[in-house]
Structure formats: C-alpha cells, structure tokens
Amino acid sequence: MKSKWIEHEGREILNINFSNFQENETELNREVSSILQGIGQEMYSKPPHSVLVLVDLRNTKMTSGIQRIISERIADTRKYVAKTAVLGMTGIRKAFLDYFGRIARSDTRAFDDIEPALTWLVE
C-alpha cells in the first residue's frame, strides 16, 4: 500500500497516493481496497468534517473506470473530510476536480507541488 497517514506542522493528514497508476484500474482498485481495510478505517473514528486529505493523482489517467472508483470512495467518506488537496489535476483535468469537489461537499483544491498543498491543508 502506497497510502499512509503523515504529519505536517503537528496535524495529521491522510495521504492517498494514487500516483503512477497510468490507466491501470485494477491496481488502483487494489490500492483503494488496501486503504479501506487499513488506514482508512481510522478515518471513521474521527469527528465529522475533521480529516485533512492529500490525494496524489500525478501520472494517473482519469479513465471512466478510475473516475467511478474514486467517486464511490468520496461518497463513502465525505462526512469525515474537511479539506482535500489534489496533486496532478492541472489543465483540462481540473474539470474532474470540480466534479470531485461537488461529490465531496468539502473544500477541494488543485496543486502542482506538495509543499503548497500541505501548507494550505493545515491553515
């Protein structure tokens, strides 16, 4: 599993690493399953709208299958998430960010680099 909880400026952040899956929906789905069975369970013990999330989608193409997988997970966890920073949603891909933000019903922003994303999350 590539995803894990990290700490930045004393705050816990759920780092969901979906980078470098290209178009491989099977492997991405395995990562999602690992997250749900492991570190994701901790999210369900947190207060509503308190979890900070960093999602890395660099080098992963938004196929319809990958979009469906991610959309289902967002719907399952949205009541726990306060803010989400997304890496790798530049250019035309920002349309997906708007879509995911509407599903999540939380503050969701795109970033090119990890440091500004982490800073924004803990503000």
Amino acid 89: pLDDT: 84
- Strand order of the β-sheet with 51-56 is 4-8, 11-17, 51-56, 81-87, 107-111
**How many Å apart are CA 26 and CA 31, to the nearest integer?**
9
pLDDT at 95 over 80: no
**How many Å apart are CA 61 and CA 66, to the nearest integer?**
8
Smallest CA-to-CA distance from 108 within 92, 66, 91, 87 is with: 87
Amino acid 77: pLDDT: 84
pLDDT at 82 over 90: yes
Higher per-residue pLDDT: 55 or 71: 55
Model pLDDT for residues 24-41, shown as the tens digit of each residue: 889 988 888 888 788 878
**Which domains are delineated in the chain?**
4-122 (3.30.750)
Provide the whole-model pTM. 0.88
Amino acid 36: pLDDT: 79
Smallest CA-to-CA distance from 56 within 98, 121, 117 is with: 117
Amino acid 122: pLDDT: 98
